[in-house]
Amino acid sequence: MKRNPVSPSVIISCATPTGVEIIGKPAA
């Protein structure tokens, strides 16, 4: 997984009972 600030992607933070899960989805 590459982390590019200029890349058209959406970062979603999901609060889970076990902690915080970060999910990256490509912006369509």
Q: What is the pLDDT of residues 2-24, one digit of tens each?
A: 665 555 556 666 666 776 666 66
Supply the pLDDT for residue 28: 47
Q: The whole model's pTM is what?
A: 0.22
Residue predicted with more confidence, 1 or 23: 23
Residue with token string 């997984």:
1
What is the C-alpha separation between 9 and 16, in angstroms, rounded? 22
Supply the pLDDT for residue 17: 72
What is the C-alpha separation between 26 and 12, in angstroms, rounded? 11
What is the C-alpha separation between 11 and 19, in angstroms, rounded? 16
In the chain, the amino acid numbered 28 is A
What is the C-alpha separation between 24 and 10, in angstroms, rounded? 6
